[in-house]
């Protein structure tokens, strides 16, 4: 049975060539595919060049372009593969998990640590694995495939700067692995019971505040004035330093409920947060309303609140309910 795959190209290392200023994404979709070994006869590929940029420059505007292209072509294809730079690929995978929900068709993100035109490169294998996975009728939803790992879109994080095994699945098992041209599934994927839903709004006014020892509370005034949501990367299992708690409480009361949201998360990669563990975490309960990321990736928590706040006009209770709803394996401990 013929399977049709739409490949979306956005640039990144996989499309880069060496220039006097360093690696630069220059190759287009056709040039990239010319380096790819022959694909199985029952898979038909089509391509669209969405953009061609270093993924450092990726943001919500390009996420919306990807959503638009996939929605326009959703009926025509059996699966989608997005070629993307590695530096922000985990953010894009998480964002698309919220912007495209209940997809019975696979939406796979991949890329490489070395350009595809180099003699020694991981690009060809990652592309082959992604195409094969996207062509399988048992594959659904948004995921990231790299170095043979199939990772849920909300659980991926880049944990190695240069190595081919650049991505890890955080606080959740890999969905599957690609072994010698075969898919070995660890978690059976159930076809969504609801119809696919596309979203087209995100609130870009979300600020990541990484706590550091001695951070001055004066920064909060400007952050609250400019941003709708503050994602606090706290120490350990979570808490706010003595020097900042009164300013947090004052500013949260200064703005109408629901217009400013605080999400508490942790700088620690594995095992998540639990503000109930220590006094520095417990004391903010009851002082102001906040959300806690628990075992969610930072990338997932950050893009999820962008998606939620983009819906506009929600009460804090509605924001809270959406944040704690489980989407694409993003939250287990709540």
8 A C-beta contact, residue 144 and residue 153: yes
Contacts of 311 (CB under 8 A, 6+ apart): 201, 322
43/48 Cα distance (integer angstroms)? 17
Going by the DSSP 8-state scheme, the letter that residue 257 receives in this structure is B
Residues 6+ apart with CB under 8 A from 206: 227, 228, 229, 230, 231, 302, 305, 306, 309
DSSP state of 79: E
What residues are labeled active site? 13
CA 188-194-198 angle, 5° bins:
105
Q: Is 57 helix (H, G, I), strand (E, B) or coil?
A: helix
Q: Which of 178, 231, 179, 173 is nearest to 205 (CA)?
A: 231
Burial label for 218, CB within 10 Å (0-12, 13-18, 19+), is exposed
Closest listed residue to residue 45, CA positions, set 6, 2, 10: 6
- Cα–Cα distance measured from residue 191 to residue 140, given in angstroms and rounded to the nearest whole number: 7
Q: Count other Cβ atoms within 10 Å, centred on residue 2.
A: 9
Give the separation between CA 237 and CA 80, rounded to whole angstroms: 37
């Amino acid at each position: 049975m013929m399977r049709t795959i739409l490949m979306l190209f956005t640039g990144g290392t996989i499309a880069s060539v060496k220039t006097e200023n360093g690696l630069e994404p220059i190759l287009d979709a056709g040039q990239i595919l010319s380096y790819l070994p022959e694909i199985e006869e029952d898979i038909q590929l089509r391509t669209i060049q969405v953009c061609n940029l270093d993924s450092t420059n990726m943001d919500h505007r390009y996420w919306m372009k990807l959503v638009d292209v996939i929605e326009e072509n959703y009926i025509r294809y059996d699966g989608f593969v997005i070629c993307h730079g590695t530096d922000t690929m985990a953010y894009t995978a998480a964002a698309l998990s919220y912007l495209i929900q209940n997809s019975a068709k696979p939406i796979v993100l991949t890329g490489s640590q070395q350009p595809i035109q180099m003699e020694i490169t991981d690009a060809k294998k990652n592309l082959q694995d992604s195409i094969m996975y996207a062509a399988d009728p048992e594959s659904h939803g948004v995921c990231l495939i790299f170095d043979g790992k199939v990772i849920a879109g909300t659980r991926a994080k880049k944990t190695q700067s240069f190595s081919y095994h650049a991505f890890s699945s955080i606080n959740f098992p890999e969905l599957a692995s690609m072994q010698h041209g075969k898919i070995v599934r660890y978690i059976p994927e159930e076809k969504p019971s609801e119809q696919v839903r596309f979203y087209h709004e995100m609130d870009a006014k979300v600020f990541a505040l990484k706590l550091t020892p001695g951070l001055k509370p004066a920064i909060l005034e400007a952050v609250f004035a400019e941003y709708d949501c503050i994602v606090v990367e706290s120490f350990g299992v979570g808490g706010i330093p003595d020097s900042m708690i009164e300013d947090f409480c004052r500013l949260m009361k200064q703005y109408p409920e629901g217009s400013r949201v605080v999400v508490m998360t942790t700088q620690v990669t594995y095992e998540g947060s639990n503000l109930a563990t220590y006094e520095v975490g417990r004391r903010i309960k009851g002082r102001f309303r906040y959300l806690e990321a628990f075992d969610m990736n930072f990338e997932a928590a950050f893009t999820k609140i962008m998606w939620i706040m983009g819906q506009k006009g929600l009460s804090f209770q509605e924001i809270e309910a959406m944040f704690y709803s489980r989407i694409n394996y993003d939250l287990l401990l709540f």
